A and B are shown apart, each in its own frame.
Chain A
């Protein structure tokens, strides 16, 4: 189960600026490689997809594999031409989607 995400986006930018967005979400990212005390393999359970959209259009996405560390940290960029809303989506192996949105304003 994914925990609450944390997303760092500037509150406002000059139109046309490229910003860096930092995201973090709590998740064990169980790789499927570990064994429990009885020797049974602990099943894989990871966040396998991350998607960032702005005003409804996808800007960036990532396919994650079990080699991504627990509590996945994903940093990426976006060019902001107008005010609007960023929507982040994390999807896990069970198909559960965690969403987080943040607005951004244009300066001046």
Chain B
């Protein structure tokens, strides 16, 4: 047996997530798709790295079918200065879009959490846009494995 048990576990986890997505090896999103979405979202503005935008993801996802993800932007959230939207994307899923959150000053804080599907280990991106057109972006790498010892 040449393959380590750990390697075999992570391959079958990816296969499970891949089977759910119906991936045959082709038609996976690329970084170009992500960049295109960011450009459409931000109206071509240049995104500042990080800043008040935080993206929280686990380092290792036990189950690719349900990976928790949180985004938040430090902002006064007043009528004059608030976060309008945050777009969350996957760099290596069949399709890059995951979700877009829309806020209003009445949100109080620009913060949202969901659970997402990740087909395999990849970068997850978040881009935030304020009412004045400022753009921030951040990305985290998430390892996807079935659990146990991890990847």
B66 — which chain A residues lie within 8 A by C-beta? 69-70
Give complex CA distance A74, B23 in Å. Answer: 27
Known: A54-B106, A62-B101. A75 touches B22 (CB 8 A): no
Give complex CA distance A64, B87 in Å. Answer: 10
A77 — which chain B residues lie within 8 A by C-beta? 107-109, 111-112
Instruction: Return B31 CB to nearest CB of chain A, in Å.
Output: 16
Known: A60-B112, A72-B114. A67 touches B104 (CB 8 A): no
Q: In the complex, what residue of chain A is closest to B124 when comparing beta carbons?
A: A67
Number of interface residues of B (CB under 8 A): 35
Number of interface residues of A (CB under 8 A): 30
Cβ A62 vs Cβ B102 within 8 A: yes
Determine which of B19, B65, B67, B100 lies in contact with A70 in the assembled complex, contact meaning CB atoms within 8 Å: B65
Cβ B22 vs Cβ A34 within 8 A: yes
Q: In the complex, what residue of chain B is closest to A79 when comparing beta carbons?
A: B108
B77 — which chain A residues lie within 8 A by C-beta? 79
B93 — which chain A residues lie within 8 A by C-beta? 67
B117 — which chain A residues lie within 8 A by C-beta? 31, 66-69
Q: Mark A69-93, 1 if CB is under 8 A from B, else 0.
A: 1101111111100000000000000
Q: Which of A33, A61, A70, A74 has its CB near the most chain B CB atoms (within 10 A)?
A: A33
Give complex CA distance A36, B51 in Å. Answer: 45
Instruction: Return B113 CB to nearest CB of chain A, in Å.
Output: 4
Give complex CA distance A68, B69 in Å. Answer: 10
Q: Mark A1-33, 1 if CB is under 8 A from B, else 0.
A: 000000000000000001100000000000101
Q: Mark B78-113, 1 if CB is under 8 A from A, else 0.
A: 000000000000100111011111111111110111
Q: In the complex, what residue of chain A is closest to B18 when comparing beta carbons?
A: A33
Give complex CA distance A57, B117 in Å. Answer: 31
Residues of A within 8 A of B (CB): 18-19, 31, 33-35, 41, 54, 57-70, 72-79
Residues of B within 8 A of A (CB): 19-23, 65-67, 70, 77, 90, 93-95, 97-109, 111-118
- Listed by A's residue number, 21 A-B pairs whose Cβ atoms lie within 8 Å are A19-B108, A33-B21, A54-B106, A57-B104, A60-B101, A60-B102, A60-B103, A62-B114, A64-B99, A66-B95, A66-B117, A67-B93, A67-B95, A68-B115, A68-B116, A72-B114, A73-B114, A73-B115, A76-B112, A77-B111, A78-B107
Question: Contacts A60-B112, A76-B111 given; 16 further ones with Cβ under 8 A?
Answer: A19-B108, A31-B94, A34-B22, A57-B106, A61-B102, A62-B114, A63-B99, A64-B99, A65-B95, A66-B95, A67-B95, A69-B66, A69-B114, A74-B112, A76-B113, A78-B108
